[in-house]
A and B are shown apart, each in its own frame.
Chain A
Amino acid sequence: MQGTASGGGEGARPAAPRALRYAYMDHWRVDTAQGPLSQYTSVERFDAFLRQIAAVGFEAIETFDFHLGVMRELFGSLPECRAFMQSRGIERVLSLFHAVMYDERQSAPHVPATHDRMFGYAKHIMESSQGLGVENFIVMPAGLYFDVEPVTDAKIRACADLWSRIGRMTLDFGVRTCCHHEFFCAIRSAEELRKFYEWSDPRYVFFYCDTAQHTIAGVDPVALYSQLHDRCGGFHLKDTHDIDRSGDYRRRPDAEIMAPTTPRWFWEMGTPGGLVDFPALYAAMKRHGYRGWVGVEHDKADVGGGNYPESTAVAAWYIQNVLDRIYA
């Protein structure tokens, strides 16, 4: 990864073929006179966001599918939105994170009766997101742990069936369905993960490696990546300082923001106390010949007074100065 393109002169780095390119998974907030707001609240704020991430070396963004509407509103159409992004050095919206309201009444991967509706919604997203260059459709493959437990084999098989069906459909749009396992998701343990990937169709269901989520869940993301490397569709690189040792993952009403044990689960790469062994992950990626996009994420970076731009720059610094030396 390198910062924004040089105007030349001493210190400039020539372009070279690289195995890895970087995308920024968007949880951004902008400090404004109206308080902290999304960058999608104006073209000017979106522009500043794009410039800032491009400046430190990102070439794509990943975002939530509920941003599709506001992208159209800001720019008139998704192709016009993409053209604007490209003028700032951001090539595409690499991934859409599928924001589904998981509920057994209408949308729950472990409940087969809801699958047709979920399939239809996923197809609607595919049809309505043309023009952004999307390559990945990222999903949490099961509901919240406490909504699904007990997590039985039948429930895991139902999830595997759903995403195999949806994954086949999204490939028709040139998009891979990638499963991203939050630490509070019902498919989270090593054994649950093993079963899910064994029972889902490897042609249609891909693994998205979120380094912090697996670490919090007590699963080594390097070992998991090595097991699933031939199904790996990408990464969310982020760190954590804490492993969930007290069952926060199944504590109602929420584990991600409201766990009493841990005010902030997620950290950018390169902070003291980080538990993820990123150099080992990069060695594994090199060993397995991973090529393509790598996502960087630090959701909830503002917990405790932090901010997204600085966390992004610090993570970019870590890639430029530590990880690039292992595998680029």
Chain B
Amino acid sequence: MKTTLPVAGDVRWSYAVNAWKPGFMGFARREEHERAFKTTAASGFGAIELKAGSGRWEPLGRPDNIAASYGSVAGFAAVLGSWGIAKVSSLFYDPGQMSFEDLHFGLDSLNPADEERILEAARPLARCVAELGGSCLVVRPVGSFGKVGALSAEQLARVGRCWGRVGAAIREYGVVVALHFDALSAARTAEDYEAVLAALDPALGGLALDTAELTIAGHDVVALYRRLHARVVHFHFKDALDRDTLGEYRAPNAERELVQAGGSRRVARWFSEMGTPRGLVDFPALAASIREHGYRGWIVVESDGGPAPIAAGVMSNGWYAARVLAPLITGQVP
């Protein structure tokens, strides 16, 4: 299989599918998958990260949906392979999203009554990831600040314990849980993240560091990685073009008003492909730090929220990852 960025070894590269399916109804047909994944493969990425979803228009969102469209998970793997995608690195799961199949409007890791249902939802997703060659279940560990408010020490620990239970349940598949704190998360600070991680056995999981989300949230992600590097098990690489300077993550509808509508400042675009003059993330410094700390795991590049055509972002990121970042990480700078 011809790919130029490694999908095995210490640092492995993957690409998230989320940009290709911005809405509920798109990206449901097989020929759309084929063009997207051929584009991904031609751009140098031999692995993808899936996103959990619900309903018949999410053919890649659940293993039973995958089977409905591709015969079986193994059948999907074979088709992906024929398109140049050797592995599914990981799968993103937000328990707060509604599920037609599991008959709920969102689960909450802060609610002990939901813990068992989260665990039961995560188990088949992790099994699916393992069957597709991956090793991470990336999760939204807790809801938005605007929905659940500031977290107490006990709540932070509860979040960690919940995902620890999930991690223990999916360990048998060789899959770890990766906690993906985003720009709206109720967990805001490095201390918050540390408090959650303290309640999660490092053998069962750790942190998914999303460069853009955490930059928007006000973090210096290079400094954050240096502080938390021992617990980072997964990366999402995308650039941020602005920060939430007014603290609008507090709004109860920040998912729409801030992220999608740009907030009171009407920010036109939060996320960007890497390597542009306007990006706020210092990717070369982060790559050097990754090398320094000997990170082992996946780096999933994202065009999350990027404008059409999606292929342009994938190709730009392929250039930057292969020609700038991978040499810095391996130390093989030409």
Smallest beta-carbon distance B321→chain A, Å: 8
Q: Is A317 located at the chain interface by the 8 A CB criterion? A: yes
Chain B window 1-33, contacts with chain A (Cβ cutoff 8 Å), 1 for yes, 0 for no: 011111111110000000000000000000100
Q: Is A193 located at the chain interface by the 8 A CB criterion? A: no
- Contact indicator B319/A54 (Cβ below 8 Å): yes
| B-chain residues with CB within 8 Å of residue A4 when the two chains form the complex | 4, 44, 318-319, 322-323
| B-chain residues with CB within 8 Å of residue A313 when the two chains form the complex | 38-39, 42-43, 311, 314-315
- Contact indicator B315/A56 (Cβ below 8 Å): yes
| A-chain residues with CB within 8 Å of residue B69 when the two chains form the complex | none
Identity of the chain A residue whose Cβ is nearest the Cβ of B47 in the assembled complex = A11
- Contact indicator B323/A5 (Cβ below 8 Å): yes
| A-chain residues with CB within 8 Å of residue B276 when the two chains form the complex | 44
| B-chain residues with CB within 8 Å of residue A88 when the two chains form the complex | 319
Q: Is A141 located at the chain interface by the 8 A CB criterion? A: no
- Contact indicator A11/B8 (Cβ below 8 Å): yes
- Contact indicator B38/A56 (Cβ below 8 Å): no
- Contact indicator A10/B9 (Cβ below 8 Å): yes
- Contact indicator B318/A55 (Cβ below 8 Å): yes
Smallest beta-carbon distance A201→chain B, Å: 40
* 8 Å CB interface, A1-57 against B: 2-13, 30-31, 33, 44, 48, 51-57
- Contact indicator A310/B2 (Cβ below 8 Å): no
| B-chain residues with CB within 8 Å of residue A12 when the two chains form the complex | 4, 6
- Contact indicator A11/B323 (Cβ below 8 Å): no
With contacts A5-B323, A51-B319, A314-B38 taken as known, whether A31 is within 8 angstroms of B309 at the C-beta atoms is: yes
For chain A, the count of residues having a C-beta within 8 Å of the partner chain is 40
Q: Is A109 located at the chain interface by the 8 A CB criterion? A: no
- Contact indicator B84/A317 (Cβ below 8 Å): yes
Q: Is B173 located at the chain interface by the 8 A CB criterion? A: no
- Contact indicator A48/B4 (Cβ below 8 Å): no
| Interface size range on B against A | 35 or more
- Contact indicator B42/A51 (Cβ below 8 Å): no
Choose, from B164-172, B177-185, B248-256, B326-334, the stretch at the interface: B326-334
| A-chain residues with CB within 8 Å of residue B275 when the two chains form the complex | 51
The complex places the Cα of A309 from the Cα of B315 at a distance, in Å, of 8
Smallest beta-carbon distance A13→chain B, Å: 7
- Contact indicator A6/B9 (Cβ below 8 Å): no
Chain B window 253-273, contacts with chain A (Cβ cutoff 8 Å), 1 for yes, 0 for no: 000000000000000100000
Q: Is B281 located at the chain interface by the 8 A CB criterion? A: no
| A-chain residues with CB within 8 Å of residue B31 when the two chains form the complex | 272
| B-chain residues with CB within 8 Å of residue A11 when the two chains form the complex | 3-9, 46
| B-chain residues with CB within 8 Å of residue A30 when the two chains form the complex | 312
| B-chain residues with CB within 8 Å of residue A33 when the two chains form the complex | 268
- Contact indicator A55/B316 (Cβ below 8 Å): yes
Which of B4, B10, B11, B323 is in CB contact (< 8 Å) with A2?
B4
The complex places the Cα of A4 from the Cα of B44 at a distance, in Å, of 7
| A-chain residues with CB within 8 Å of residue B83 when the two chains form the complex | 317
| A-chain residues with CB within 8 Å of residue B176 when the two chains form the complex | none
- Contact indicator A51/B4 (Cβ below 8 Å): no
- Contact indicator B327/A7 (Cβ below 8 Å): yes
Smallest beta-carbon distance B5→chain A, Å: 7
Chain B residues close to A by CB (< 8 Å): 2-11, 31, 35, 38-39, 41-44, 46, 83-84, 268, 275-277, 307-312, 314-316, 318-320, 322-323, 325-330, 332
The 6 closest A-B pairs by CB, nearest first: A7-B326, A52-B315, A310-B311, A307-B309, A55-B318, A313-B39
Chain A residues close to B by CB (< 8 Å): 2-13, 30-31, 33, 44, 48, 51-57, 88-89, 270, 272, 307-310, 312-314, 316-317, 320-321, 324
Q: Can you report 18 residue pairs joining A to B where beta carbons are below 8 Å apart?
A: A2-B2, A7-B332, A10-B7, A11-B6, A11-B46, A54-B319, A55-B43, A56-B42, A56-B44, A56-B318, A57-B42, A88-B319, A307-B309, A307-B311, A309-B39, A310-B39, A317-B84, A320-B42
